[in-house]
């Protein structure tokens, strides 16, 4: 409790530094929300704040043990240096995490029987960057934590449906028309900041895609009915 009171007292003395740190944390979390990786960015922010707190406590403990006197200016300088050091070291350690760098693609076992080449082309533009075994990773996917966010989205997408493995595991492909129609796919963060501009389909392209998917077996109710009709006819 004494350590907490001491640190809270230091925060009150150096409220400008505290406000700047808070703003940076809020911006970090907001960026996480924009790229669809909010829980991960919140966890990283909390971890960094805890480490920063511990580092400052260790520095204060050593100062007390050696009898070193401190003044507000030195205390503020120490807090800033410790914060920058934690951020830089943390950023470096994040780059060493292998998640997001092991990009072994799952096998291609067979796509849906698309109703037309145009339908497939639109699907490739709008969905294949995550929902396929053939993914072209962007340059920003080489730097953590955005690399973690990209890989998380791809893993999550493939877990729902991988159109490159439709022949062996259709997953939730029958939801395809519904999620495109209601606008939840592709997700908003997928095209933010000018990323993946090819996925920004016009209203006419979206209508053409839905029409093509309605004629593609396994892509929705009509596709399923068509598939069942073919089986019944056989």
Average pLDDT over the chain, rounded to an integer: 88
* Average pLDDT, integer, range 14-37: 92
Higher pLDDT, 189 or 15: 189
Instruction: Give tens-digit pLDDT for 51-109.
Output: 998 998 888 888 878 877 677 788 888 999 999 999 999 999 999 999 988 888 899 99
Distance CA 99, CA 77 (A): 35
Residue the block writes with tokens 């493995």: 165
Question: Is the whole-model pTM more than 0.75?
Answer: yes
Q: Which residue has the tokens 């145009």?
A: 118
Give the span between the Cα atoms of 122 and 198, in whole angstroms: 9
pLDDT at 160: 95
Is 166 within 8 Å of 112 (Cβ atoms)? yes
Query: Which range is least confidently modeled, 36-50, 124-138, 194-208, 212-226?
Result: 212-226
């Amino acid at each position: 409790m004494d350590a907490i009171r001491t640190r809270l007292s230091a925060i009150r003395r150096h409220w400008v530094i505290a406000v700047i740190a808070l703003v940076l944390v809020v911006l970090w979390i907001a960026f996480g929300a924009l790229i669809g990786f909010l829980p991960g960015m919140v966890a990283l922010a909390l971890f960094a704040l805890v480490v920063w707190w511990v580092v400052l406590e260790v520095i204060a403990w050593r100062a007390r043990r050696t009898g070193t006197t401190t003044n507000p200016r030195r205390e503020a300088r120490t807090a800033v240096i410790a914060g920058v050091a934690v951020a830089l070291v943390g950023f470096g350690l994040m780059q060493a995490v292998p998640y997001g760098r092991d990009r072994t693609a799952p096998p291609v076992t067979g796509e849906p029987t698309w109703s037309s080449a145009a339908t497939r082309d639109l699907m490739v533009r709008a969905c294949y960057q995550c929902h396929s075994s053939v993914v072209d990773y962007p340059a920003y996917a080489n730097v953590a934590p955005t690399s973690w966010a990209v890989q998380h989205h791809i893993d999550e997408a493939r877990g729902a449906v991988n159109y490159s493995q439709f022949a062996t595991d259709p997953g939730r492909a029958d939801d395809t028309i519904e999620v495109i129609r209601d606008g939840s796919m592709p997700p908003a963060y997928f095209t933010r900041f000018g990323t993946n501009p090819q996925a920004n389909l016009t209203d006419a392209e979206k209508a053409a895609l839905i029409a093509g998917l309605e004629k593609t077996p396994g892509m929705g109710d009509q596709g399923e009915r068509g598939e069942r009709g073919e089986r019944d006819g056989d």
